A and B are shown apart, each in its own frame.
Chain A
């Protein structure tokens, strides 16, 4: 069965520093990979996705993610963190021919001024 793992419950970063939020996946076949962000008491907002093609995917708000097939990873990155980036980040995977989007347990990003 497909799954994603987010090994860090929380990531703390100083404003202006680069950030990385980790995600590894396990699927049979080709994965569709996604990152979503959730602010308190809000819905999930789509950040970016990997379907096929370039391993480096650029998304909203300056975020990007690198797909690494050999390491089965899809880490979220941003060169310079903002305090307003503080939120809960979910990695998700979907196999082809299913509707089911499987979410990781989420990583809380805290950016300090």
Chain B
């Protein structure tokens, strides 16, 4: 079965640079979520989109922005990168988002290293 696809899997950037992560949800999933997992930490919710509109917002820094496109894929844009942004970034998808009770399906993650 198709899973959530994230790219790139690994990314190395310098401080103050920008980075863009992409996420392709499972077909027919209309909700996309972004999570950040620091080393040895639990995943922290950043933001979610349902039907291309922002649905919920968590602890996403103002330097970050995200959107969901007409084909339901999503991109997380990170600017003015800081050392503390080094983490594993997960995308997840589901059907009906908060309107349903379904589980989230996670991608393999994008590992961002900021030097």
Q: Smallest CB–CB gap between A6 and chain B, Å?
A: 9
Q: Are B108 and A98 in contact (CB under 8 A)?
A: no
Instruction: Identify A46's interface contact among B50, B105, B107, B111, CB under 8 A.
Output: B105
- Supposing A90-B43, A97-B98, A98-B98 touch, asked if A45 and B103 sit within 8 A by C-beta, the answer is no
Q: What number of A-B contacts does a CB cutoff of 8 Å give? A: 57
Which listed residue (B4, B43, B55, B56) contacts A103, Cβ 8 A?
B43
Interface bracket on B:
20 to 34
Q: Is the CB of B106 within 8 A of A99?
A: no
The size bracket of the interface on A is 20 to 34
CA distance A42 to B107 in the complex (A): 8
| Pairwise interchain contact B108-A43, C-beta atoms closer than 8 A | yes
A-B contact sample (11 more), CB < 8 A, given A43-B106, A44-B43: A36-B106, A41-B109, A43-B4, A43-B107, A44-B90, A49-B103, A96-B98, A100-B58, A101-B45, A101-B104, A106-B42
B contact residues vs A (CB 8 Å cutoff):
4, 31, 33, 41-45, 48, 50, 55-56, 58, 90, 92, 97-98, 101, 103-109, 111
Residues in chain A within 8 A of chain B (CB atoms): 32, 34, 36, 41-46, 49, 51, 90, 96-106
